[in-house]
Amino acid sequence: MRHHGTTMLAAALALACAGLCTAMPARATDAPDATALRETANTLFGAIPHSVDEVRGQEITAAQVELGKSLWFEPRLSRSHVLSCNSCHNIATGGADNVPTSIGHGWQKGPRNSPTVLNAVLNVAQFWDGRAADLKEQAKGPVQASVEMNNTPGRVEATLRSMPAYVEAFARAFPGEDQPVSFENMARALEAFETTLVTPDSRFDRFLAGKGSLDATELRGLSLFIDKGCVACHSGPNFGGQAYYPFGVVERPGADVLPSGDKGRFAVTQTASDEYVFRAAPLRNVALTAPYFHSGQVWDLGQAVAIMGSAQLGHELDATEVQSITRFLQTLTGRQPQVANPVLPPSTSTTPRPE
């Protein structure tokens, strides 16, 4: 399924304006009506789930999550035995590595900023260009990419089959299968673990649920986020991640922020209208994951807000507006996952060696 940016944009803007009538203060410095704004926000975003119980209609089992957690921290999924999923999607630092673009095999730099794994299960598709339909498909990418983990499915399977503890863990996670240890099931287990990485209980969520408040600046920021049209792309419980839009729909930013060599979703669809089209970044925990944009070239969240205003909405936001929206975005930092480091099984004589 592919959403065309401008249609979505118009529909969402209409929705946003409909919600605004009751919430906007008479003057810019007045605090918006919190009750009306809560109601609008519940319509536009909705609560983040506390857990995700199924993927593609199938129940996630504890055995799959446990295996997936080991695989998440498993450096032997990489050819070098040095890089794990957590290297670039570090759960300790907002689910990302927080460098402009990730460092992979041989210290090669990847082409785009590493998106956070936190709440990624809520996105319509994975990667900045949506080229993977779900987290299972996504998981297969970096393991094989030559600039990332630089491994092969066969080598991964040989690695996992060489360790009895993994053979047992795969059998528990995928019972009844002839060959539970497979690259496909590695990806399924990783997806199962990743579904646990949701971050509920942000200050915004408590506000949404009527269990907490936002201060006047934060309320103004939320109101502006809706009024100015940010919500057109960044809606739903993950504040984005649902559809694709051109970066620079009104005014294309400079090549430092939008490098001309990366045409985004065009590489997936080969459709001219998808040039410089990217999936709208989900904004949950955005305060934890600088630097911003697919290029990772903007370190300041306020600056990113200002760029979005001019590039996507044609608004030159003033300093107070930028600050209010930024303060509001900081309320989207949720309870970070508590993850116990796994103890991984030792290699054996048949484990492929690092290269």
For a second copy, the binding residues (CB under 8 A) are 73, 75, 80-82, 87, 90-94, 97-100, 103, 106-107, 287-288, 290, 299-300, 336, 338-344, 346-347, 349, 353-354
Half-sphere exposure of 297 (CA within 13 A, CB side): 12
Residue 158 burial (CB < 10 Å; 0-12/13-18/19+)? middle
Catalytic, 148? Answer yes
**Based on CB atoms, which residue is closest to a second copy, 73 or 328?**
73
Residue 234 marked as a ligand binder: yes
88 is in an annotated binding site: yes
CA torsion through residues 324, 327, 331, 332, sign: positive
- Packing angle of the helix pair 216-227, 319-330 (nearest 10 deg): 100
Which lies closer to a second copy via its Cβ, residue 39 or residue 300? 300
**Which tokens hold the place of 339?**
């993850």
CA 108 – CA 99 distance, rounded (Å): 13
Which amino acid would we find at residue 93?
T
Token couple for 179: 């060959």
- Residue 277, classified by CB atoms within 10 Å of its CB into exposed (0-12), middle (13-18) or buried (19+), is buried
Question: Is residue 89 part of an annotated ligand binding site?
Answer: yes
CA dist 311 and 316 (Å) reads 9
The whole-angstrom distance between residue 339's C-alpha and the CA centroid of its chain comes to 18
308 is in an annotated binding site: yes
**What are the distances in angstroms from CA 307 to CA 240, 292, 304, 318, 345?**
17, 11, 5, 12, 47
The catalytic position among 59, 66, 74, 148 is 148
The answer to whether 85 is a known ligand-binding residue is: yes
Is the Cβ–Cβ distance between 82 and 75 less than 8 Å? yes
Tokens, residue 278: 């990217």
Tell me if 4 is assigned to a ligand binding site: no
Q: Which residue type does 308 have?
A: M
- Residue pair 100/295 in contact (Cβ under 8 Å)? The answer is yes
339 and 63 in contact (C-beta within 8 Å)?
Answer: no
Q: Give whichever of 75 and 248 is closer to a second copy, judged by the CB atom.
A: 75
Minimum Å distance from CB 238 to a second copy?
19
Distance CA 58, CA 238 (A): 22
21 annotated ligand-binding residue: no
163 is in an annotated binding site: no
C-beta of 82: minimal distance to a second copy in Å? 5
Q: Which is nearer to a second copy, 36 or 167 (CB)?
A: 167
Catalytic residue positions, numbered: 148
Where is the binding site for heme c, in residues?
A: 85, 88-89, 105, 230, 233-234, 308
